[in-house]
Amino acid sequence: MWKWLHPYANPEVTYHFTGKILPWFVALTVITLSTGLVWALLFAPADYQQGDSFRIFYIHVPAASLSMGIYVGMAVAAFCSLIWQLKLADASAAAMAPVGAVFTAIALLTGSAWGKPMWGTWWIWDARLTSELILLFLYLGVIALHNAFEDKNLAGRAASILTLVGVINIPIIKYSVEWWNTLHQGSTVSKLGKPSMTIDMLWPFIFCFLGFALLVTTIICIRFRTEILARNSIRPWVRNLVILENK
């Protein structure tokens, strides 16, 4: 069943394949993200209570859900790396970690900037905010472990174990607003049945979310390619690439 995947365990094949799909991701990102942001920030109607401050929602929510999404992706890579000892899985996890950390930081900062005028405080130690902060520390730990060892295989194994242990935090973040009472509101978009938003507010959100998701994919794709080159720099195929570039 998985036979078609086998050639991609070869770094050279994957490097050329990602090179081919990268321009498509870039194009799609530019289209959806610019449409989404312009629509959301300039044309979507203002909220009845919060006015224009609510527009931070269009950045905060995609950043927060992607921070969890990237972590799950990283955990899948870590799992493959531990069981099948795929070197490329390590490379992809190393490529994802900093992107995830940045998106977690964006979610925390935009949330804080919204919280001050709306709630009346920058920060409160409720379950949602605290667990998201723990996610940031998990990302920083994974990044640190990837860079802590000279031997990349050893580094990859240590980081993978931390990643898998940290996965427990993901359902805690997601359901924190339902399991405990918190200052943070429940989810607006991702709940069963009707989203708690009117349709002219929801469409720009869908574009923003897709746009940010594609942006993440693009950045990770680029980082993954550089990571492959860095880890295979002594291989003949990488040397040949350099020679071809310089001709």
Nearest to 205 by CA among 50, 55, 99: 55
Q: In this chain, which of 4, 43, 120, 246 binds other proteins, going by CB under 8 A?
A: 120
Q: Does 183 bind other proteins (CB under 8 A)?
A: yes
Contacts 24+ apart (CB under 8 A), 123-130: 124/183, 126/176, 126/180, 126/182, 126/183, 126/184, 127/172, 127/176, 127/177, 127/179, 127/180, 127/182, 127/184, 128/173, 128/176, 128/177, 128/182, 128/184, 129/182, 129/183, 129/184
> Per CB under 8 A, does 168 bind other proteins?
yes
Quick check: helix, strand or coil at residue 165?
helix
- The tokens of 215 are what? 């942006």
Query: Per rule CB under 8 A, is residue 240 in the interface with other proteins?
Result: no
Contact partners, residue 147, CB within 8 Å, separation at least 6 = 155
Q: Which of 41, 102, 162, 172 binds other proteins (CB under 8 A)?
A: 172
Q: Does 9 bind other proteins (CB under 8 A)?
A: no
**Site size toward other proteins, by CB under 8 A:** 39
Verify binding: residue 119, other proteins, rule CB under 8 A.
yes
Listed ranges 8-16, 63-71, 80-88, 96-104: which one lies at the site for other proteins (CB under 8 A): 80-88
Residue 45 as a binder of other proteins (CB under 8 A): the answer is yes
Q: Which is nearer to other proteins, 4 or 125 (CB)?
A: 125
Cα separation, 175 vs 108, whole angstroms = 17
Among 7, 16, 117, 233, binds other proteins (CB under 8 A): 117
Q: Which residues contribute to the site for other proteins (CB under 8 A)? A: 45-50, 54, 57, 79, 82-84, 117-121, 124, 126-127, 164-165, 167-168, 172, 179-183, 185-188, 196-198, 200-201
